[in-house]
Structure 1
């Protein structure tokens, strides 16, 4: 078994990619690291492999490993029991609140709990009850609500 500079380089690349995955998880660097580890194994088995062949093998194995991830693993994620957990604005859809500041030229403001939200909708006077019907980023889309 020959420990050439190429063998050590592929081992180092694989370890660096695994470390990058640990620092910034997202399951992307993991697959590149597995491809680099596979090329490390190829260089150990076939010490006469040219650098061009090694790089080509890395590119092909990276592409294949990412496709394996996208096909078999990415689609099998568990559905969340709280899909709106990190979507605070979307959690407010359906709520009825009074306008804190009148909607003028389509823009106004409401207070929900201790937060103020920009709203868009038809022009309405301050104090008018509005129903949140959707979101556009962090702006709530509202319409006049029937008095309950």
Structure 2
């Protein structure tokens, strides 16, 4: 077996192994390009110059990554819990009781075991409020009816 055929096979395997260790679907596509160059170099009866092999790898890498970006990356499934890692968005619509009165637009509520700063119209402690939005650690509230 020629050294360049062996080198492309080993390079493809290293890229596939790197994808297994560092997932992200990037090394996988480079591995496909290296595997394609391996097959081409192995099957062609003439010896292909190393510069042409590297150029083919670069071109095939670009094509395979573009295929991934166009057809696979944009087809991710919609989550059944879109607000999972956005805690304030997950609380929108929920009712709460003011732990500390809203004075000058600022107050506090307790939800489960956490205290949240709130912003909204001035209301006394103990008033029921509805969460209508939020940013970072401050919830936007309105008086509940």
TM-score (norm 1): 0.75
Q: Does the residue aligned with 1:83 lie in a helix, a strand or coil?
A: coil
In structure 1, runs of 5+ residues without a counterpart are none
Aligned pairs for 1:1-148 within 5 A? 2-4=1-3, 6-46=4-44, 48-101=47-100, 108-119=107-118, 121-122=119-120, 124=122, 127=125, 128-136=127-135, 138-146=136-144, 148=145
Do the aligned residues in 2 keep the contact of 1:130 with 1:142 (CA within 8 Å)?
no
TM-score (norm 2): 0.76
Alpha-carbon deviation of 1:68?
1.2
The total of aligned residue pairs comes to 143
1:98-138 Cα offsets, whole Å, 9 max, x none, are: 3334557766543211123344x2474672443322232x4
Do the aligned residues in 1 keep the contact of 2:116 with 2:139 (CA within 8 Å)?
no
d(CA) in 2 for partners of 1:122, 1:102? 10
1:69-111 Cα offsets, whole Å, 9 max, x none, are: 2222223333333333343332111112233345577665432
Alpha-carbon deviation of 1:18?
1.1
Alpha-carbon deviation of 1:142?
0.9
Do the aligned residues in 2 keep the contact of 1:98 with 1:126 (CA within 8 Å)?
no
Do the aligned residues in 1 keep the contact of 2:5 with 2:42 (CA within 8 Å)?
yes
Cα RMSD over matched residues?
A: 2.7
Alpha-carbon deviation of 1:64?
0.8
Structure 1 residues 81 and 62, CA, compared in 2 at 3 Å: closer, same or farther? same
d(CA) in 2 for partners of 1:72, 1:145? 47
Q: Does the residue aligned with 2:41 lie in a helix, a strand or coil?
A: helix
d(CA) in 2 for partners of 1:31, 1:145? 54
